[in-house]
Chain A
Amino acid sequence: MSDVKVEAVELEATDKLVMNQVPLSAELSEIGESPLHHADLASIAEHGPQEGGVHFHERKLMGLLTLRCLPSAEQQEMIKSLLGVALPMQPLTSVTTDESTIGKVSVRWVSPDEWLIIIEGDKAFDIESSFHDKLMGHFSLVNISGGTTIFDVSGSHVVEMLKKSTPVDLHASEFPVGKVVSTVFAKSGAMICRLADDQFELVVRRSFADYLWLWIQDASREYGLVVKA
């Protein structure tokens, strides 16, 4: 706990114990090392190949929150006002908005009583505090930012690369833009969301990040891998 600074004023903001995992004084770039820090993706992006069929980018240090509840109508209304978007209640769907007061918000359906909320890393504490202050009833909100990272993969051959890694049907008729699935990915697991026709987002476990980065390099070799900073 030595590297985590908890300000007394933060605890007064809510009567429930929610810890700000981002020191107040720090810039977002200083809040920690991403799981692929050691891979030095910035150098690869600068000096590596600039053309290829698969593009890779680590969207690091985002805020990820797991919401679990069986929301009543009142809870759904409150969640909508807190996040700026309504919870996606249909299985395997997601919603994203840039319009929210807290910046860009993505909400992913995970299971009938579980959602994943993705926001900027420095907004996670605000959202957690507001949920615990304003949302009544039975629910659980857990900050899982430190245990996960996000890979953005795109490019003309991204579907071919993903086909080597997961048994999910990625054809556009079965996997439209906005669909999200939790599935097995290269003997590990990932939550896959289609952001555009040739653009996918993988939410992966921190401890598997290096393995999956190596896997994606190998699976992309025949198409050419371009790392984006």
Chain B
Amino acid sequence: MFHIYCPHCCEYREEEEFHASGQAHIPRPLDPDACTDKEWGEFMYFRANPRGIHHELWVHGAGCRKYFNITRNTHTYEILEVYKVGEKPSIVANEAK
């Protein structure tokens, strides 16, 4: 079980109260009508599946019902950082690797 810090409730709660909502930081194309099918398809369906640092969107479903982001290591399951929607993560994967 994860013990997750909710940045809105400002305390740790059990994973049972939360729900993962997939990859974070997926910008919706500003002009969907101008997208190619490939661009729209990748926005809609294609997600990263890294081994290591991953930014995820979670929702505190049984608590404050707010969304927030988690930076998590998919290899060790360690939660490295929790930050609100709209904020930038301070921990990011090294792109050069």
Binding site for B on A (CB under 8 A): 91-92, 110-112, 114, 167-168, 181-184, 189
Minimal Cβ-Cβ distance residue in A for B6: A91
B residues less than 8 Å from A181 (CB atoms) = 9, 63
B 1-38 contacts with A by CB, 8 A: 8-11, 13-14, 16-17
Query: Which of chain A's residues have a CB closer than 8 A to the CB of B17?
Result: 167, 183-184
B47 at the interface (CB under 8 A from A): no
A92:B16 contact, CB within 8 angstroms: no
Closest to B63 in A: A182
Query: Whole-angstrom distance between the alpha carbons of A1 and B87 in the complex?
Result: 46
Chain B residues in the interface with A (C-beta under 8 A): 8-11, 13-14, 16-17, 62-66
Candidates B8, B13, B14; contact of A111 at CB < 8 Å: B8
19 contacts between A and B (CB under 8 A): A91-B8, A92-B9, A92-B11, A111-B8, A111-B64, A111-B66, A112-B8, A114-B64, A167-B14, A167-B17, A168-B13, A181-B63, A182-B62, A182-B65, A183-B62, A183-B63, A184-B14, A184-B62, A189-B62
- B14 near A91: Cβ-Cβ < 8 Å: no
CB distance from A183 to the nearest CB of B (A): 6
A193 to chain B, nearest CB (A): 14
Tell me, in angstroms, the Cα distance from A183 to B16 when the chains sit together: 9
Complex-state Cα separation, A114 to B43, whole angstroms: 32
Interface centre among B10, B11, B65 (most CB of A within 10 A): B11
Bound-state CA distance A167–B17 (Å) is 9
Complex alpha-carbon distance, A91 and B11, angstroms: 9
Q: How far is the CB of A220 from chain B (nearest CB, A)?
A: 22
Closest to A184 in B: B62
| Closest chain A CB from B1 CB (angstroms) | 9
Report how far A44 CA is from B94 CA in the complex, Å. 65
Q: Are A92 and B13 in contact (CB under 8 A)?
A: no
Chain B residues whose CB sits within 8 angstroms of the CB of A182 once the complex forms: 62-65
Report whether A91 and B62 are in contact in the complex, using a CB–CB cutoff of 8 Å.
no
Partner of B66, one of A112, A167, A184, A189: A112
Rounded to whole Å, the gap between the CB of B85 and the closest CB of chain A is 12
CB nearest to A189 among chain B residues: B62
